[in-house]
């Protein structure tokens, strides 16, 4: 089965979106075989961090190897130089950035997928359980609720807080963006006031997404907000208690590369630091179980 990059591959300014999928059997071309595939992840990237946590939650260490990449991309195009040959082998005359995450096929040396949502689903449905009806982190019947949580994280928090932190933003648009963030956090606060996890009693993919969103809110986006906004963000005790609790989970905290996230942010961000940078919400390092360092390779 061939893998066709998306239209973005035609531009050196965009990242190709390879959308191969892992199927159920040999007829699919890419079928689930232990140690056939490999993940290439930079833990300073929020999409890669979600995949790393999911990989650990599913216990795939002996099934699907992981190669860690440098926290700060070292390629001249803003990508990872270690992935250049793989991108070129997967797309003729590829000239775009060589970005992570990547799910590759060790049998062919080519990329299967760079699309994080597809990778996350395939890890669960093809390697974690072997059946879409028994997916561990994507329980049947929760699809709409999970989509709503994903929308809340991406649009209600990630995109809105970036708008609020843009340098020179006018008061009205900034206040509107902050209001969106506060409303999203209020919704999470109501949920977590009555349950242990976002969808109920069990960990799901939604918890992974919410936790990584909260990590980025505190370690990256907070840098460009004023102190009053950050103090308002802290006024969600159940949300931050939940974040603290998951930081101590062996599948979450050990993957948190705080230094790498900071270095990547400072290497690429051109925004101005604001007063909120001094108001840390959580001491992530204090609540994170230490992991054994793995050298990029």
Is there a single domain that holds both residue 125 and residue 149?
no
The number of distinct structural domains making up the chain is 2
2 domain residue, yes or no: no
Q: What's the whole-model pTM score?
A: 0.90
**What is the helix (H) or strand (E) element at residue 113, kind and residue range?**
strand 110-113
Cβ distance 42 to 100 under 8 Å? Answer: yes
Tokens 């959308």 sit on residue = 19
Say yes or no: 217 and 239 in one domain.
yes
pLDDT value of position 2: 38
Q: At 62, is the secondary structure helix, strand, or coil? A: coil
CATH number for 246: 1.20.1050.10
Task: Give the count of beta carbons closer than 10 Å to the beta carbon of residue 285.
Answer: 12
- Burial of residue 170, with CB atoms counted within 10 A of its CB: 0-12 exposed, 13-18 middle, 19 or more buried: exposed
Among left, alpha and beta (phi > 0; psi -120 to 50; other), residue 78 is left
| pLDDT score at 86 | 96
* Domain end residue (candidates: 134, 162, 177): 134
> What region does 59 belong to: left with phi over 0, alpha with psi -120 to 50, or beta?
left
CATH number of the CATH domain containing 54: 3.40.30.10
Task: Report the 10 Å Cβ neighbour count for 142.
Answer: 16
Token pair for residue 161?
């807080």
Task: List per-residue pLDDT tens for the chain, 297 residues long.
Answer: 334 454 433 333 345 579 999 987 777 789 999 999 999 999 999 999 999 999 999 999 999 999 999 999 998 888 999 999 999 999 988 988 999 999 999 999 999 999 999 999 999 999 986 555 568 999 999 999 999 999 999 999 999 999 998 876 678 999 999 999 999 999 999 999 999 999 999 999 999 999 999 999 999 999 999 999 999 999 999 999 999 999 999 999 999 999 999 999 988 877 667 777 888 899 999 887 654 444 444
Residue finishing a domain among 88, 112, 134: 134
pLDDT given for residue 131 in this prediction: 58
Residues 257, 182, single domain; the answer is: yes
Is residue 248 within 8 A of residue 287, CB to CB? The reply is: yes
Output the pLDDT for position 294. 42
Query: Which of 257, 24, 3, 254 has the alpha carbon at shortest distance from 115?
Result: 3
Same domain, 167 and 276: yes
Considering the domain architecture, whether residues 20 and 68 belong to the same structural domain is answered as yes
Bridge partners (DSSP) listed for residue 67: 40
Residue 296 forms part of a structural domain: no
The answer to whether the beta carbons of residues 93 and 10 sit under 8 Å apart is: no
Run of H or E residues at 4:
none
**Are residues 148 and 247 located together in one domain of the fold?**
yes
Q: What is the pLDDT of residue 7?
A: 40
CA distance 217 to 199: 21
Same-domain pairing of 229 and 129: no
147 and 280 both lie in a single domain: yes
């Amino acid at each position: 089965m061939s893998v066709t990059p998306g239209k973005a591959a035609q531009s050196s300014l965009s990242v190709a979106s390879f959308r191969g999928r892992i199927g159920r059997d040999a007829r699919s071309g890419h079928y689930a075989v232990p140690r056939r595939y490999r993940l290439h992840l930079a833990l300073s990237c929020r999409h890669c961090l979600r995949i790393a946590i999911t990989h650990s939650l599913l216990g795939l260490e002996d099934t699907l190897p992981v190669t860690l990449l440098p926290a700060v991309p070292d390629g001249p195009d803003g990508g990872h130089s270690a992935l250049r040959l793989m991108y070129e082998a997967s797309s003729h005359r590829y000239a775009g950035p060589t970005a992570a995450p990547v799910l590759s096929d060790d049998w062919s040396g080519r990329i299967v997928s760079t699309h994080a949502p597809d990778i996350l689903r395939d890890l669960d449905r093809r390697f974690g359980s072997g059946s879409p009806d028994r997916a561990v982190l994507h329980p049947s019947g929760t699809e709409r609720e999970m989509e709503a949580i994903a929308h809340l994280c991406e649009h209600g928090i990630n995109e809105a807080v970036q708008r609020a932190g843009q340098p020179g933003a006018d008061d009205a648009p900034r206040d509107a963006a902050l209001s969106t963030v506060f409303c999203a956090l209020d919704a999470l606060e109501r949920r977590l006031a009555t349950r242990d996890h976002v969808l109920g009693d069990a960990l799901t993919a939604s918890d992974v997404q919410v936790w990584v969103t909260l990590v980025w809110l505190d370690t990256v986006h907070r840098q460009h907000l004023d102190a009053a906004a950050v103090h308002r963000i802290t006024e969600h005790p159940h949300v931050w208690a939940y974040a603290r609790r998951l930081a101590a989970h062996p599948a979450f905290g050990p993957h948190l590369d705080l230094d790498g996230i900071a270095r990547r942010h400072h290497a690429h961000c051109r925004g101005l630091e604001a007063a909120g940078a001094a108001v840390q919400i959580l001491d992530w390092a204090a609540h994170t179980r230490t992991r054994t360092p793995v050298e990029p390779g």
